[in-house]
Amino acid sequence: MNEYKSAASYTNKRPSVVTIGTFDGVHIGHKAILQKLVATAQKDNLDSVLLTFFPHPRMVLQKDANIKLINTLSEKKELLQQIGLDHLIIHPFTQSFSRLTAVEYVRDILVNKLNAKKIIIGYDHRFGRNRNADITDLKEFGKTYGFEVEEITAQELDDVAVSSTKIRKALNVGDIETANSYLGYPFMVSGTVVKGKAIGRTIDFPTANLQLEETHKLIPKDGVYVVQAAIQNKIIYGITSVGTNPTVGGKDKTIETYFLDFNEDLYDQPLKIEFITHIRDEETFNSVEALKVAIQKDEHFARTYLATRE
Ligand SMILES: Cc1cc2nc3c(=O)[nH]c(=O)nc-3n(C[C@H](O)[C@H](O)[C@H](O)COP(=O)(O)O)c2cc1C
Ligand SMILES: Nc1ncnc2c1ncn2[C@@H]1O[C@H](COP(=O)(O)OP(=O)(O)O)[C@@H](O)[C@H]1O
Q: Tell which of 168, 197, 230 closes a domain.
A: 168
Ligand 2 atom at minimum distance from 265 CA: 27
Cβ–ligand 2 distance for 193 under 6 Å, the answer yes
Using one digit for the tens of pLDDT, what is the confidence trace for 108-126? 999 999 999 999 998 888 8
Q: Report d(CA 286, CA 248) in Å as an integer.
A: 10
Cβ–ligand 2 distance for 254 under 6 Å, the answer no
Please indicate, yes or no, if residue 238 is contained in any of the structural domains: yes
Atom 15 (ligand 2) nearest CA: 206
Please indicate, yes or no, if residue 7 is contained in any of the structural domains: yes
pLDDT average, residue stretch 276-298: 97
Please indicate, yes or no, if residue 173 is contained in any of the structural domains: no
Ligand 1 atom at minimum distance from 205 CA: 31
Is the domain of 299 the same as that of 264? yes
Is the domain of 124 the same as that of 234? no
Q: What percent of the chain has pLDDT over 90?
A: 80
Question: Band of the pLDDT at 234, cuts 50, 70, 90?
Answer: very high
Please indicate, yes or no, if residue 182 is contained in any of the structural domains: no
Question: Band of the pLDDT at 177, cuts 50, 70, 90?
Answer: very high
Number of structural domains the chain divides into:
2
Is a pLDDT exceeding 90 seen at residue 244? yes
Q: Report d(CA 111, CA 128) in Å as an integer.
A: 14
Cα 39 to averaged position of ligand 2 atoms, centre (Å)? 47
- Nearest residue to 247 via CA among 188, 213, 297, 203: 203
Q: Tell which of 102, 136, 168 closes a domain.
A: 168
Is the domain of 8 the same as that of 134? yes
Question: Band of the pLDDT at 66, cuts 50, 70, 90?
Answer: confident
Ligand 2 atom at minimum distance from 262 CA: 1
Is the domain of 23 the same as that of 137? yes
Which residue among 245, 257, 260, 298 is best mutated to probe the pocket of ligand 1, counting the most ligand atoms within 8 A of its Cβ?
245
Q: Report d(CA 102, CA 169) in Å as an integer.
A: 34
Atom 19 (ligand 2) nearest CA: 198
Q: Report d(CA 25, CA 52) in Å as an integer.
A: 13
Cβ–ligand 2 distance for 196 under 6 Å, the answer yes
Q: CA distances (Å), 290 to each of 76, 200, 285, in order? A: 40, 14, 6
Is the domain of 96 the same as that of 15? yes
CATH code for position 278: 2.40.30.30
Ligand 1 binding pocket (C-beta < 6 A) is 196-200, 205, 207, 209, 224, 239, 241, 245-248, 256, 258, 282-284, 291, 295, 298
Is the domain of 73 the same as that of 150? yes
In the β-sheet with 47-54, what is the strand arrangement from edge to edge? 2-4, 87-92, 47-54, 16-20, 116-122, 148-152
Please indicate, yes or no, if residue 179 is contained in any of the structural domains: no
Q: Tell which of 135, 168, 201 closes a domain.
A: 168
Is a pLDDT exceeding 80 seen at residue 105? yes
Is the domain of 70 the same as that of 193? no
Please indicate, yes or no, if residue 15 is contained in any of the structural domains: yes
Q: Residue ranges of the alpha helices (H) in the chain?
A: 28-44, 57-61, 73-81, 95-98, 102-104, 135-145, 154-172, 176-183, 288-308
CATH code for position 112: 3.40.50.620
Cα 245 to averaged position of ligand 1 atoms, centre (Å)? 6
Is the domain of 272 the same as that of 212? yes
Per the structure, the complete domain to which residue 109 belongs is given by 2-168
Cα 205 to averaged position of ligand 1 atoms, centre (Å)? 9
pTM of the model: 0.92
Which pLDDT score is estimated for 276? Answer: 98
Cα 188 to averaged position of ligand 1 atoms, centre (Å)? 20
